[in-house]
Structure 1
Amino acid sequence: MSVIEYVKGDATAPGGKGVRIVAHLCNDLGGWGKGFVLAVSRRWPEPEAAYRRWHRERAANDFGLGAAQFVRVSSCLWVANLVGQRGIRTGRSTGVPVRYEAVDAALGLLADKAVELGASVHMPRIGCGLAGGSWEKVEPLVLRRLVERGIPVTVYDFGG
């Protein structure tokens, strides 16, 4: 069985050849302004604009927890906006924003798109930054949804 490749680096500059998808988590409020999304926006304006439009027009589309949006940013590179967190972290009493069931569902959609495109997937440790999640809970979802389907996955730890 394949495994996740862990590297030090920037997930917005994915290595390798062929079609690649950079995946990250978004919230269900339409907010975009902290965490990994800032690096995404510095590199490409399209994913943020598409996400904000998707949220604004949510009454007529599939926007919501567990949904996924795929934005092409170059001939061989896509960004996957995965809605995997309820709101944003505002205090300890509200709990963490990550919703593992939503992450699982969105990863399933990501897997389908990766298979369709023949793409590899590149991501930070999704759900484990501002979303407050645990990689020990997210990693098995990535393994089951992506790796077990034969999709190459690289997880980037920033730095180095």
Structure 2
Amino acid sequence: MSGITYVRGDATVPSVKGVKIIAHVCNDIGGWGKGFVLAISRRWPEPEAAYRAWHRDRAANDFALGAVQFVQVERYVWVANMIGQRGTRTGSKGVPVRYEAIDTALETLAGKAGELGGSVHMPRIGCGLAGGRWTRVEPLVEERLVRRGIRVTVYDHGE
């Protein structure tokens, strides 16, 4: 029995009250331009600008696999840019997703959600362009968020 709520819809438009954190996975090479990030950028320019600046200044900050950047985009809405994929292409080292990095990022996300008293909203993170499998990601979400009492909604984009 999953503590995750699954719905059809757009994760950038969560229809619940209170503080909402929209979580998604980014790559570790500064690329922003395909997949779920496009939906984020259509709604708010700040997450992309913050991610690009974070990557640009990476020598002086924590930009790396497993790191999370929280960007407030509305009074009660935050976006969590979680670095959970190595590069953007499937190659000799397999698909770009890095489950350990997603796990670390979810741990940080849990802390922020607890601090804000917020719920978490996401697509099936790491399973689109990153090439991951939800059967590997879902238990991480359960362990890091749901078990701590954080409400999580996963959105499957409906047509």
Regarding TM over 0.5, the answer is yes
Number of aligned residue pairs: give it: 159
Q: TM-score, normalised by structure 1?
A: 0.96
RMSD of aligned residue pairs (Cα, Å): 1.2
Give yes or no for the alignment of 1:144 onto 2:132.
Answer: no
2:118 aligns to what?
Answer: 119
Q: Displacement of 1:89 after TM fit?
A: 1.6
Query: Contact 2:90 / 2:96 at 8 angstroms: preserved in 1?
Result: no
The CA deviation at 1:38 is 0.4
User: 1:22–1:80: 8 Å Cα contact kept in structure 2?
Assistant: yes
| CA shift digits 1:55-102 (9 cap, x unpaired) | 0001111000000000000100000000000000255x4410000000
For 1:39, the equivalent position in structure 2 comes to: 39
Letter matched to residue 158 of structure 2: G
Query: Which residue matches 2:28?
Result: 28
Post-superposition offset of 1:15: 1.6
Superposition TM-score, scaled by structure 2 size: 0.97
| Aligned-partner SS, 2:153 | strand
In the alignment, structure 2 segments of 5+ residues that lack a partner are none
Aligned-pair identity in percent equals 75
- Distance of 1:115 and 1:141 partners within structure 2: 17
Distance 1:90 1:44 in 2: 29
User: Structure 1 unaligned runs (5+)?
Assistant: none
Alignment of 1:43-62 (within 5 A): 43-62=43-62
